Chains A and B, each alone.
Chain A
Amino acid sequence: MTSVGRFAAGLLLGVLISGGLGLMLAGGDPVASTTTTTTTAAPQPADDPWFEAGEVMIGATALLPRELEVEDGVAFFDYDLTGLGPTLASDVEQRPDLATPQGDNMVMPELWELTTTSGQIVMATTGPFDSSVSFELPSDEAEVAEISLTGWRVAVPFGERVELEIEEGATAEIRIGTVTIETVLEQSISTIVQIDFADNGGLWDSNAVLRPLDSTWRLSGRQGGGLQLIWKGEDAPETVLLEDTGFEMRPTTGAIVVYSGDEL
């Protein structure tokens, strides 16, 4: 073999050896280099926020972190809730102007977990109308590393129906409480029926909204989940069929990080 041949052979061998070595140094796979590679990148998941950057979506409900403040060993985390749910609300125009028109939020936070930078965990709870959660930190010097939502409630309408005899003391049970006919006042040309509702006592259970299914009962007032009905005429029926048009707030658990050190 001539020196040119030897040089060429050396050149080729050198390219092959160093190519593999180079690819290894660069993180490539020298084995893969002997195959045909066709790469079709998957569509990138859309990361456009629904309402604003930093939002945390829980189904169609968005939790919007607002502020984290630590003072005297207590951490206060403020948030807003909004949602994509179809709504009947007439005041949506008065809500904050966000990029997406706001609808109903069906999720309400309940259970929270805060983790300090030293790994200690603190729990807290919130109620249906809260927009801030407070955590009692292990010490005044403790710093917040992460906050997670670990439990929330979801509105579920059951539309329960109960039929009650029109007599004082008649009762019926629905999922979240007891319906009682408190007063029946028979007058010459009308009958007035006072119906009370007593919930089971839970923080989340007082959402019953009763209404008569027979619309010839006239609804003359509501109070504390109960209602007053008037039947005009002398022929008041013996029973009334009521429907609970409210919600039961059903508990759900999970672990959704809502704060992880980012500046709010």
Chain B
Amino acid sequence: MSGIDYEELIRSPLDDVPEKSGTGWSVLIGGLGLGMALGLLVALGLGGGDDEPAVAADPATTTSTTAAPVAEPSEYPVGFVELGAGFAAKSGEVILGDELITVAFTAAARRGDDPQDVAWPVGGSWLLESASGTVVESSRVVVGRFSPAAFTVQFPAQPFNGETEFSGTSAIERWDTEVFTGSVQIPFGGEPFVAPETISIPVNQDVTLIVPTLKLGRFLGSAAWQTVGAPLGTTVAVVATLLDENGEVIGSYERFPENLDPADSGVIEIYWSEPFPIGQEGGVTVSLEYTVGVVEESPVSVSFDLSNVPVGR
């Protein structure tokens, strides 16, 4: 030892103040009691009093909480993947066939949009990948003719050679339609009516709609059509409206609404839509209203997981 009196060095003048009997431990215990009371109050104040989970109470602890961002309502239902502007799809089943493997989808319009106004694509190209890595391009996209909310993508089955597990499918090209509408008016000579000459309508600077034959009968009508200048084809619909000499509408020949496959020619059956016995009497003009969807391809990259999709036959 160095001989230094450490006890003396750390002595405080107050140490010389005589202690009251028993006050040494009682002060400690008193402090302990007050401290516990204060600590308990602080802890309960921090951690209790409501239903929120407690957080750290040690004064040395750093606690920061970032408020939850306000989530926007989802644009599509759970499991749907956006496939284009304003619509999404969800794969529901893989159906195995001898010649084709069909992947079934259902579609949804974006929240708040009117599903009637969604321009659903008319086709495209997809890839199907099996669990073992085989990849095959689609042979056909089948859109529900009376409801685009259901569509399927079909793939040749042969390359998969009996494989039944599929990891995913992806759209690589989407066929959209740019829609052009308009009308032409031709004189009406009473039914049965056959347009006297071919009707040629420039749809845009590239595409021309040609109607070589327009027939309007008492209840049925038809319009043969061709389009030129659209390499991937068009979807064409017409409505023939009869107008009287004042330009007032008498009635229309319309077609049942359905999805149309792209083509470069066809014959459209149209039906006199007015209730019997209203006829075409008094009609002097046919207004031929056309809707031409010019098919365009858009490269896309949208993937759908098939690993948990049921497989059927």
Chain B contacts for A21, CB-based, 8 A: 36, 39-40, 43
Query: In angstroms, how far is the closest chain B Cβ from the Cβ of A92?
Result: 5
Q: Which one of A12, A39, A100, A158 contacts B35 once the chains associate, using CB atoms below 8 Å?
A: A12
Does B93 have its Cβ within 8 Å of any Cβ on chain A?
yes
* B106 and A41 contact, CB distance less than 8 A: no
* B79 and A59 contact, CB distance less than 8 A: yes
* A104 and B56 contact, CB distance less than 8 A: no
Q: Which one of A50, A86, A100, A209 contacts B149 once the chains associate, using CB atoms below 8 Å?
A: A86
| Chain B residues touching A, range | 35 or more
* A28 and B92 contact, CB distance less than 8 A: no
Chain B contacts for A41, CB-based, 8 A: 65-68
Contact of A85 with B115 at beta-carbon distance under 8 Å, contacts A13-B35, A15-B42, A22-B39 already known: yes
Chain A contacts for B267, CB-based, 8 A: 215-216, 218
* B74 and A46 contact, CB distance less than 8 A: yes
| B residues 25-56 touching A (CB-CB < 8 Å) | 25, 27-44, 46-48, 53-56
Query: In angstroms, how far is the closest chain B Cβ from the Cβ of A258?
Result: 16
Interface string of A197-219 (1 = CB under 8 A from B): 00000000000010000011011
Does A233 have its Cβ within 8 Å of any Cβ on chain B?
no
Query: In angstroms, how far is the closest chain B Cβ from the Cβ of A218?
Result: 7
Chain B contacts for A18, CB-based, 8 A: 35-40, 43
- Cα A101 to Cα B44 in complex, Å, equals 51
* B147 and A15 contact, CB distance less than 8 A: no
Chain A contacts for B24, CB-based, 8 A: 3, 6
- In this complex, the member of B42, B64, B116 whose beta carbon has the largest number of chain A beta carbons within 10 angstroms is B116
Q: Which one of B44, B56, B57, B149 contacts A60 once the chains associate, using CB atoms below 8 Å?
A: B149
Residue of A nearest to B67 (CB): A41
Does A194 have its Cβ within 8 Å of any Cβ on chain B?
no
* A87 and B145 contact, CB distance less than 8 A: no
- Cα A23 to Cα B42 in complex, Å, equals 9
Does B286 have its Cβ within 8 Å of any Cβ on chain A?
no
* A85 and B142 contact, CB distance less than 8 A: no
Query: In angstroms, how far is the closest chain A Cβ from the Cβ of B78?
Result: 7
Chain B contacts for A104, CB-based, 8 A: 115, 147, 149-150
Chain B contacts for A17, CB-based, 8 A: 32, 35-36, 39
Residue positions of B touching A, CB distance < 8 A: 12, 14-15, 19, 23-25, 27-44, 46-48, 53-58, 60-74, 76-80, 87, 90, 92-93, 95, 102, 104, 106-109, 111-116, 118, 120, 140, 142-152, 154, 220, 222, 257-259, 263, 265-267, 269, 310, 312
23 CB < 8 A contacts A-B: A2-B15, A3-B19, A7-B31, A9-B28, A9-B31, A10-B31, A10-B34, A14-B36, A15-B36, A16-B39, A23-B43, A25-B44, A48-B73, A59-B108, A83-B115, A84-B77, A85-B149, A86-B115, A86-B148, A100-B111, A155-B147, A220-B220, A252-B92
